[in-house]
Amino acid sequence: MLQCVMAGLIALLGAVEPPCTALTGGRVFAEGRLQEGLTVVIEGERVAAVAAGAVAPARCRTLDVSGQVVTPGLIDPFTRLGALEVPLEPATVDHDAGAAAGPVRAAFQVADAYNPRSVLIPVARREGVTAVLTLPVGGVVSGRSAFAELDGATQRQAVRRSVTALHASIGGGDGSRAASWALLRQLFEEAALFQRTRAQWERNASRPFANHWRDLEAVQAALAREVPLVVQADRASDIEAALALARAHDLRLVVAGGAEAWLLADALAERRVGVIVDPLLYGPGSFDQVHARVDNAAMLRARGVPVMLSTFDAHNVRRLRQIAGNAVRGGLPWEAALEAITRTPAEVFGWPDQGRLQAGAVANVVVWSGDPLELSTRAERVFVRGREVSLETRQTKLRDRYLTLPGTPAPPLPLP
C-alpha cells in the first residue's frame, strides 16, 4: 500500500502531466466478477479509481467503451518470453544455463538475459498479455525467474522483479527422479546450514559444501519465504515429494505442470500450494502424465487450490486467453479462469499491485471487444503502466507487406 502511495506521489510530482485515461460504459472485471456501470480511471502508471460514477480529472482522455469488456492485463506465470527468440539458433537462446552448468544452477538469473526488444513481446501483447514470469530451464534446479511487464525499451523498465521465484524440474526421463530429489534435499539442507554457520564459512572454518556458495546464497530467498520454489512436475508421486520438501523447509511451494495434481488436491489446498495448469493437456502425453484429465483445473479449484493457467510457451503466449477458455470448457468457472491469468498468479507470486482492477493497482488494463476468453474477441486497447501500447507486431507488418499480390518485398524507387 505504501508503495502505491509513494508511486502515486512520485507520479504526481515528477511528471508535468502524467497520462490519464477514463474508460466509461464498459463491463468491468473487478472483485472477481463482471460489473456494469463502473468507470476505470487510469492516472500515470496506476489505476486511480474503479467505481460507479468515478470522476476523472478534467485533463483525462475519456474513452467510451460501451459494449466492451475491461479486464486487468493478462499474466502468464510460466513463460520463456524475453529470454528466447529462435530456439534452434543458440545465439538467441538464453533461458538455459547449459549442460556444462550442471544440475544445480540456483544462482542462474534469467533476468540478466531479458531482451525487452524481443519481437515475441508485441505478439503476446496484441492478445492482451501485459506481464509474464520468464523462467530458466534445464538441470534439476534451473535458476531464478523474472517478472516482466510487456513494455519498455530497457531491462530496467521492463523487468519489475529480477528474482521472483526459484525453479526446479523433476521427471521427464532425464535420470532417476530419486537422484533429482536427493540433489534438491541436499541443496536445501546445505543452504539452511550455510545460513546458520555463515560466520564460520566466512572464516573458512566450515566443512566443504557439495553446492557452490553462490547457489546456497541463491536459495536463501526461498528458505526465507520471500520467493516461492516452483517445481515443474506432472506425476502425482513427484508432487507428493515436492510437498514433503516444502514441509521440511517451510517453503512457499508452487507446482507447475501438475498434470496429475488433481490426485493430490486436498494436500495442495491444505498448504495453499498454487498450481500452474495447462488445460489443453488431455491424454497421457508422457509417462508422467498418464492420469492427466481435461478437468484438472476445475477439480483443483473446487477443492480450494489456487489455480493458475499458462501457455508454458514463448512464441504463443498469445494463446493464454484461449487456454483459459479451454479451462472453462473443462469445467472451471469463467470468473476463476480469468482470475487464473490475472489475480491468482499475482497473489501466489507476491506481485500485490498486479492482476486486478482497483484503486492503486498498476494500470495494466485491456479493453476487449467481448468475452476475453472467446476466440472471436479481440483486444481493442492495451495499457501497460497506464500507457496505451501499440498493437502492431512484426507479424502485422509482414502481413501488410504481402496483402496485395503479386508484389515484391519493396517497390522500385522513384527516379531522382
> Which residues contribute to the site for another protein (CB under 8 A)?
85-89, 120, 263, 280-287, 289-291, 314-316, 318-319, 322, 325-326, 328-329, 373-376, 378, 395-396, 398-399, 402-403, 405-406
Residue 278 or 339 with smaller CB distance to another protein? 278
Expressed in angstroms, the distance from the first to the final Cα of the chain is 62
Distance of closest approach, residue 397 Cβ to another protein, in angstroms: 9
Nearer to another protein, 21 or 393 (CB): 393
Pick the closer one to another protein by CB: 55 or 398.
398
Nearest residue (CB) to another protein, 221 versus 373: 373
β-sheet bridge partners, residue 84: 93
- Taking the C-alpha atoms of residue 192 and residue 102, their distance in angstroms, rounded to an integer, is 21
Nearer to another protein, 66 or 376 (CB): 376
Spatial distance between the Cα atoms of 191 and 213, rounded to a whole number of angstroms: 9
Residue 86: CB minimum distance to another protein, A: 5
Q: How far is the CB of 342 from another protein (least distance, A)?
A: 17
**Shortest spacing between CB 232 and another protein, in angstroms:** 16
Q: How far is CA 277 from CA 60, 103, 208, 311, 335, in A?
A: 40, 25, 39, 9, 16
E strands within 135-287?
A: 141-149, 159-169, 229-233, 253-257, 274-277
Q: Output the nine-digit C-alpha cell for 375.
A: 476466440
CA angle 212, 217, 218 (to 5 degrees): 100
Query: DSSP secondary-structure letter at 367?
Result: E
Work out how close the CB of 108 gets to another protein at its nearest, in angstroms, rounded to a whole number: 23
Query: What is each CA distance from 47 to 41, 70, 172, 198, 274, in whole angstroms?
Result: 6, 13, 43, 44, 27
Q: What is the Cα–Cα distance from 373 to 298, expressed in whole angstroms?
A: 16
Q: How far is the CB of 88 from another protein (least distance, A)?
A: 4
Nearer to another protein, 328 or 363 (CB): 328
Cell of 371: 468475452
The residue among 342 and 354 lying less far from another protein, judged by its C-beta, is 342
Residue 233 burial (CB < 10 Å; 0-12/13-18/19+)? Answer: buried
| Contact assessment for residue 31 and residue 398, using Cβ atoms and an 8 Å cutoff | no
Cβ proximity to another protein: between 89 and 202 the closer is 89
Compute the least distance from the CB of residue 290 to another protein, in Å.
Answer: 5
Q: How far is the CB of 218 from another protein (least distance, A)?
A: 30
- Dihedral angle over CA of 380, 383, 387, 388, nearest 10: -10
Q: In what helix (H) or strand (E) does residue 131 lie, and over which residues does it extend?
A: strand 129-134
Give bridge partners of residue 144 from the DSSP assignment: 109, 166
DSSP 299-333: HHHHTT--EEE----STTGGGHHHHHHHHHHTT--
Of the two residues 14 and 67, which places its CB atom closer to another protein in the complex?
A: 67
Give whichever of 119 and 192 is closer to another protein, judged by the CB atom.
119
**Rounded to the nearest whole angstrom, what is the least distance from the CB of residue 407 to another protein in the complex?**
9
- Smallest distance, another protein to C-beta of residue 123, A: 8
Is residue 136 a contact partner of residue 167, using CB atoms and an 8 Å limit? yes
CB 356 within 8 A of CB 30: yes
